Amino acid sequence: MTGGFTRDDLSDDEVARRAALYGPFTEAVRGLVDATIRTTVRDDEIDRARVEVEAITARLRQQQLPGAYGVSYGPDGRGRPWGNSVVGLRNPIAPPLVTERHESGDGRVWCDFHLGAAYEGPPGLVHGGVLALVLDQMLGESAGAGGRPGMTGTLTLRYRQATPLGPLRTEAWIDRTEGIKTWAKGHVAGPDGVTVEAEGVFILPRWARDRASVDQG
C-alpha cells in the first residue's frame, strides 16, 4: 500500500475519477504554498491561517499511508508516480510537469511548464538546483520513453545564462546506449533561449535486465 511498487488493478475509469478528485485538491495546496511565500496580510491573519491549516492537516491525517506514496500501477503495467517531486499529481511540491513523448520510442520527451515564487533561488530567478531537479526527471523520462528505464548514475549541468521565473520549456532525448548504460541529454529554455544543458547516465535496473532477457526468449 505504500513505499514501493504496488499493483492495485484500478480500472481506467477509477484512475480518472481519483485524478479528478486529488488533482484539484493538490492544485489548491500549490496555491496556498505560493500565497504563504508572498502574502503581506496582518499578523493576526497569518496566525488564523496557521490554526486553520493545522486543523485541516489533522483531519487528513486521521487516515493516511504510513510512509511515502510509492508508485502504483495497474494491469497494463503503467506506473502512476503520484507522489513524485516533479511530476506527482498528488505532490504539491511538483509544479507538476506533464511530459509529452514521441510514440516512436526514440526517447524524445518535452514539456512546457511554469515556475513561480516557490522555485526561486537568486531574486527573480529559478533556483539552479530546481533546474537540476527538473532535468534529472526529464532525462530519466527520456531513458524510460526509449525503453531504457534507469536510476541516475551521473548528472552534469552546464548553466549558460540565468533562468527567469515564469514560462519555460524543457526537452530531453537519448544520446546513445551501451550495455546497461543510457546517456541522455536535455535542456531548459526560457524566453531568451537555452539556459541550462544537462547530460546524464542512467543505469538499467536489475528487474529491467531480467525482463529484457525474458523478452529475448
C-alpha cell at 204: 538499467
Cα separation values, 216 from 39, 202, 210, 211, 213, Å: 58, 21, 10, 8, 5
Q: In a 3-state reduction of DSSP, which class is residue 94?
A: coil
Cβ closer to a second copy: 13 or 103?
13
Cβ closer to a second copy: 157 or 189?
157
The one-letter amino acid code at 29 reads V
Short-list 111, 119, 123, 124, CA closest to 168: 111
Give the integer Cα–Cα distance in Å for 105 and 145. Answer: 6
C-alpha cell at 73: 500501477
Rounded least distance, CB 104 to a second copy, Å = 26
C-alpha cell at 7: 499493483
Rounded least distance, CB 201 to a second copy, Å = 9
Rounded least distance, CB 187 to a second copy, Å = 14
Rounded least distance, CB 116 to a second copy, Å = 7
Cβ closer to a second copy: 91 or 101?
91
